[in-house]
Structure formats: structure tokens, C-alpha cells
């Protein structure tokens, strides 16, 4: 059973606009969340994390928001750039155990 879900397989955004990637989870014990970016035929690259004691974490153009009551997190990219075009995965873990990954959202930033 998929514990971490990314319900949008793809997203297209104009360059300069905001990209919002969403992720839902089912396990209320998850307390640490990660976002990764992946180009084809390469390994994922760590982007940003958030722990359950926070509801927001920011790093440059990337901001992750966590809504624990809704079991939902989102990644905002502002402004979006063509180089951001990639597949984005969210991942969650509970109490320092293994991470569970979503199925990914393919972001295309149109110049």
C-alpha cells in the first residue's frame, strides 16, 4: 500500500511563475520529509527537508510546507526556471527508519 502519494504525474509551468508540487501521506507517525529532484538516468539529488516540528522550511527558491493535520506537504519553486525541469520525489520516514518515496511528479518549465 502506497504510504506516500504524489497524485499529479506531471505539471507544466511557465518560466518565472510558481511551481507547486504536492505530496500526501497516510502514516501519521511520519516525522521527517524530504524532496528530491531527479533527471533521467541519474540518481536523485536532495533538495530540501522538513521535520514535523516545523510547518515551513525555505532554501533559496525552494520552500516546503507541511500540513500535519491534512497529512500533506508541498514544494514551492519560485521563480521557476527551465533547469528545474525534472522529476520531483517526496519521501517520508518515521522515527529514524526507512524512507518511503512517492511516485514522482514530472515538472516541465516552459521558457
Partner 1 sequence: DGGITQSPKYLFRKEGQNVTLSCEQNLNHDAMYWYRQDPGQGLRLIYYSQIVNDFQKGDIAEGYSVSREKKESFPLTVTSAQKNPTAFYLCASSTFTGYEQYFGPGTRLTVT
Contacting residues toward partner 1, per CB under 8 A = 2, 4, 6, 9, 32, 34, 36, 41-46, 49, 89, 91, 93, 95-99, 101-104
Residue 74 or 103: the one with the smaller Cβ distance to partner 1 is 103
Burial (CB count within 10 angstroms: exposed 0-12, middle 13-18, buried 19+), residue 105? buried
Residue 33 backbone phi and psi in degrees, to 5: -130, 145
Burial (CB count within 10 angstroms: exposed 0-12, middle 13-18, buried 19+), residue 109? buried
Smallest gap from residue 42 Cβ to partner 1 (A): 6
Smallest gap from residue 4 Cβ to partner 1 (A): 7
Residue 2 or 67: the one with the smaller Cβ distance to partner 1 is 2
Amino acid at each position: 500500500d502506497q504510504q506516500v502519494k504524489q497524485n499529479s504525474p506531471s505539471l507544466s509551468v511557465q518560466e518565472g511563475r510558481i511551481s507547486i508540487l504536492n505530496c500526501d501521506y497516510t502514516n501519521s507517525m511520519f516525522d521527517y520529509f524530504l524532496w528530491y529532484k531527479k533527471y533521467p538516468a541519474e540518481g536523485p539529488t536532495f533538495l530540501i527537508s522538513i521535520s514535523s516540528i516545523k510547518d515551513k522550511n525555505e532554501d533559496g527558491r525552494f520552500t516546503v510546507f507541511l500540513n500535519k493535520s491534512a497529512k500533506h506537504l508541498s514544494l514551492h519553486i519560485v521563480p521557476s526556471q527551465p533547469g528545474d525541469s525534472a522529476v520531483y520525489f517526496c519521501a517520508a520516514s518515521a522515527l529514524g527508519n526507512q524512507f518511503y518515496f512517492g511516485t514522482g511528479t514530472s515538472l516541465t518549465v516552459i521558457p
